[in-house]
A = this chain, B = another copy of it.
Amino acid sequence: MAESNTPDGAWNYCSNSALKRASRQLGKLYEDVLAPSGLKITQYTLLTQIKLGRETPLKILAEAMVMDLSALGHTLKPLQRDGLVELVADEHDRRVKRVRLTEKGNQLWSDTNGLWREAQARFDAAFGKEASENLRRTMDLIASPGFAAAFSGARQNQD
């Protein structure tokens, strides 16, 4: 046992990296619970969001996911390939494509829903149900356009 270089010492003064670390760990925890379904947690989230909207345009879906439009397009690829979602052209605006679940996608979503509930329940149990709600609210705040505006407006140095 030489000199332990071991930083448990994560550099935790950066709010961004703190969020990233937590996000990686939490993602993995949910992922493990969802594993039997074959869906990644991000994919399940995407399917849920698609299911909730009625054939949401990609643009709108990307906004709801707080995700770049092109990133969304790429992320949908495996789901399309596996026949879980499909794109339909908008009737009135030919630039727009709308996404929807296929029969198979709906089925898999239903089959996976219980696993998600299990994961969420575990999180609430470990973190506290009320704290969990507060956390989601806080995260929603940070993810909001208003917060981005406040951040960008908050010049700390002159310009």
A residues contacting B by CB (< 8 A) are 2, 5-27, 29-30, 32, 41-42, 45, 48-49, 52-57, 60, 63-67, 92, 98, 116, 118-127, 132, 135-136, 138-140, 142-143, 147-148, 150-157
Contact = CB atoms under 8 A, between A and B. Distances in A.
A10 B140 contact: yes
A92 B126 contact: no
A148 B11 CA distance: 20
Does more than half of chain A's interface fall in helix, strand or loop, or is it mixed?
helix
A147 B122 contact: no
Given A5-B54, A7-B56, A23 B20 contact: yes
Given A15-B26, A16-B30, A20-B23, A126 B140 contact: no
Contacts of A26: 15-16, 19, 142
Nearest to A60: B6
Contact of A7 (B60, B118, B135, B154): B60
A68 to B, nearest CB: 8
A16 B41 contact: yes
Ranked 7 nearest A-B pairs via Cβ: A18-B139, A126-B150, A22-B139, A121-B156, A125-B154, A22-B142, A21-B143
B126 A154 contact: yes
A42 B54 CA distance: 36
Contacts of A55: 5
